[in-house]
Amino acid sequence: MIVRLAWRSIWRNRRRTLITIISIGFGLACTVFFIAIAEGVYAQFIDQVVRMQAGHITLESPRYRSGPAVDIWFEAPESLRSQIERLPQVERTKLIILGQGIARSASGDVSVTLMGIEPSVELHTSPVVRHMVEGRYLNNQDGPWVVIGSGLAKRLKLGVGKKMVITTNDIAGNLVDELCRVRGIFKTGSVEIDGYFIQAPIAFARRLFDLPEEGATQLGVVLKTPQAQEAVLQKTRTMVSQQDIAVLPWQEVIPEIASYIKLDRGSNLIFQAILVFLILFTIFNTILMSVLERQREFAVVLALGTNPLLLRLQILMESVYLGLIGCALGLVVGGLAAWAVQVWGIDLSSLLEKGFTISGFAVSTKMHARVTIGLLLGTGGLVFAATLILSLIPMHRATRLSIVDQLR
Amino acid sequence: MTNIVSLQKVTKDYGEGDALTHALRGVDLMVEAGEFTAMAGPSGSGKSTLLNIIGGLDRPTAGRVEVDGREINTLSKTDLSLLRRDRIGFIFQSYNLIPVLTALENAEYVLMLQGIPNAERRERVREVLKEVGLEGLENRYPRQLSGGQQQRVAIARAIVSEPALVLADEPTANVDSDTGKSLLDLMRRLNETKGVTFFFSTHEEAVMKRARRLLQIRDGVIFNDQAH
Ligand SMILES: Nc1ncnc2c1ncn2[C@@H]1O[C@H](COP(=O)(O)OP(=O)(O)O)[C@@H](O)[C@H]1O
Ligand SMILES: [Mg+2]
């Protein structure tokens, strides 16, 4: 009967109840939608960056981080690679050599980052492959051929097939140079990458820097799902525990990205907190109002001998109904909207014609949301719990009234 | 006969300083089971105050109040609430039904509080609603009933749990005199056939005449007590 009473009581003021439910639903839907979009952008972005760089998990010399240079190389034996690749969560591994140098053509010279890569692996992982605008990407048969960014091509007035010279120091510190030709030109949208980044086959890089077979600066591990990171990190660390090799998560290899995301999440959180706070304020008001205007009725039922706890239970039930309906509405609307963006994506290229970059890395203008059960349950649970907590004060008020004064 | 109500030197003050009001100034009163008693007095004479104290809704400033053999002053809030639920029926001037419950559910309410099983509850309530003349109107909501009908539901709600005492504060003040008369006939009949003890307040002549015992109160003092 209390259940019935609570249910009918909330529908007494249909308009107010609808407003309350819609505020809960709207607030929750917005929260779910925006978090899902943000998480989707982060995930997509992280995925691209780690695939272009040194993977979700990076193996390198323990001394590399304190002075990143090609002479802090390490040996990544084939046996270790295949051991890691046998882990079920691992998509593939990629060997890279990262060094600095000067690229020179007849039209000038530019200081660049040179990345030696395995074309057959990179073909599957690197976003650079998808951004070729001229020529083609490298393959395993390519010898002294490189791909360069559109910005660099412009500065050095280079086209496909044209010659350039790379000058650098090898691992012993000798000044060396190598002639190479442009196989293709890419355009990612990032000024830094398009203007100062060169990829070359790893064999070419080894010859240039005078590195031995199996020598590299990083061995990257690309995962099938980012959630597996911690597990793979642990397993890989065990594998190399006897060797002089550091195993790092991407957060430590590209900390500027990790901290950017952290910061961005934080600022989103503040925005969402304000939104949720405003909505909770409305909810609090309507619950309090609905209690205050029924004081006389409450006095009557208390006079008839209703246990005050039962009355509180009834008011709590009313909030449970409001919260459940509102949260269900919010989760369905927000979840569906976010899910649609997850499946189809939103193309923002018309809005952001130049694209935008985070810490020099280009972000895809096609956004995909990322909805997880955890996100839905977490936000839904939070709003529901907040609704119940907010009803505690009105609930208390209802049973503290003076029966005699109310009935006069 | 057993005493349902026993008051000794009951006083009740409201406010303090300049605003101090002596609502009751030493009331002595006995009410026995089976009585049909009216308390008459002008507005502000202390009728509601006295009913509230007997009903365990308020506590006296001084004096001794016994209801159904229990001393009000020794009871906790919870005990008082249970005493009201199980031993006292209330009828208010302005009906005070629960608007979201039907006539049947309103009458059922106290039985629900008492934890009486559904089937038995329904049976008892239907019978009582029939007795108060509301057969066929069980599923109406209060707003779909006239004032007199609503007060009948309130009477059903008050008597269905078979309390030792039914208190009614000016039960006919909100209805026209014909309706008031029939409500009073109903209460009188319930008193005679089922032995329900009624104690009600009024300031209407017609109502006073139908009581079997009439108390007169003024300025917080009962100055006349006579049997009809
Ligand atoms: N809560 C209260 N606070 C102050 N004065 C009150 C209160 N309740 C009743 N009184 C006063 O007590 C007196 C008796 O009131 P009441 O019992 O309501 O009279 P009646 O029901 O006979 O009209 C009146 O003077 C009234 O103003
Ligand atoms: Mg009164």
What pLDDT does A51 receive?
80
- pLDDT above 80: residue A366: no
> Model confidence over A121-142: pLDDT tens digits?
888 877 788 888 888 888 888 7
- pLDDT above 80: residue B6: yes
Residue whose CA is closest, atom 26 of ligand 1? B44
Cα distances (angstroms) measured from residue A213 to each of A27, A90, A203, A210, A216: 58, 24, 9, 10, 9
Say how far apart CA A43 and CA A251 lie, in whole Å: 13
> Model confidence over A162-206: pLDDT tens digits?
889 888 888 877 888 888 888 889 888 778 888 888 988 988 888
C-beta separation of B180 from B147 below 8 A:
no
> Which ligand is closest in space to the CA of residue B15?
1
Rg (CA), chain A: 30
Averaged pLDDT, A277-285: 85
- Reported ipTM: the value is 0.95
Contact: A310, B113; criterion CB under 8 Å: yes
The residue of chain A with its CA nearest to that of B88 is: A304
- Looking up tokens 């590195």, which residue turns up? A211
Q: Of ligand 1's atoms, which has the minimum distance to the CA of residue B169?
A: 21
What pLDDT does A28 receive?
87
- pLDDT above 70: residue A360: no
What pLDDT does A349 receive?
62
C-beta separation of B162 from B114 below 8 A:
no
Say how far apart CA A363 and CA A261 lie, in whole Å: 13
**Which of A12, A300, A305 comes nearest B113 by C-beta?**
A305
**Which amino acid does the sequence have at B215?**
L
Say how far apart CA B53 and CA B23 lie, in whole Å: 12
What pLDDT does B33 receive?
94
The residue of chain A with its CA nearest to that of B108 is: A1
Name the nearest CA neighbour of B134 among B98, B106, B167: B106
Say how far apart CA A102 and CA A98 lie, in whole Å: 14
Task: Print the domain residue range for B23.
Answer: 3-227
Cα distances (angstroms) measured from residue B26 to each of A301, B11, B158, B169, B203: 30, 5, 29, 20, 21
Name the nearest CA neighbour of B88 among B72, B74, B105: B72
- On average, the pLDDT of chain A sits at 84
C-beta separation of A257 from A47 below 8 A:
no
Q: Candidates B39, B49, B201, B202: which one to mutate for ligand 1, based on the most atoms within 8 Å of Cβ?
A: B49
Instruction: Give me A27's structure tokens.
Output: 């607030």
C-beta separation of A391 from A287 below 8 A:
yes
Q: How many domains does chain B have?
A: 1
Contact: B100, A407; criterion CB under 8 Å: no
Averaged pLDDT, A263-284: 84
Rg (CA), chain B: 17
Give chain A positions within 8 Å (CB) of B57.
303, 403-404, 407
Averaged pLDDT, B3-24: 92
Residue B107, domain CATH: 3.40.50.300
**Which amino acid does the sequence have at A90?**
V
> Model confidence over B112-134: pLDDT tens digits?
999 999 999 999 999 999 999 99
Say how far apart CA A211 and CA A205 lie, in whole Å: 8
Q: Of ligand 1's atoms, which has the minimum distance to the CA of residue B46?
A: 17
Of A155-164, B2-11, B120-129, the range with the lowest mean pLDDT is A155-164
Averaged pLDDT, A371-381: 85
Give chain B positions within 8 Å (CB) of A296.
96
Contact: A304, B157; criterion CB under 8 Å: yes
Q: How confident is the model at residue A362 (pLDDT cuts 50, 70, 90)?
A: low
- pLDDT above 60: residue A354: no
3 state DSSP class of A187: coil
Name the nearest CA neighbour of B200 among B177, B166, B173, B174: B166
Give the Cα-Cα-Cα angle B131, B135, B140 (nearest 5 degrees). 125
- pLDDT above 80: residue B56: yes
B124 CB less than 6 Å from ligand 1? no
| Confidence (pTM) | 0.78
Contact: A307, B81; criterion CB under 8 Å: yes
Averaged pLDDT, A274-292: 86
Name the nearest CA neighbour of A363 among A257, A255, A235, A279: A257
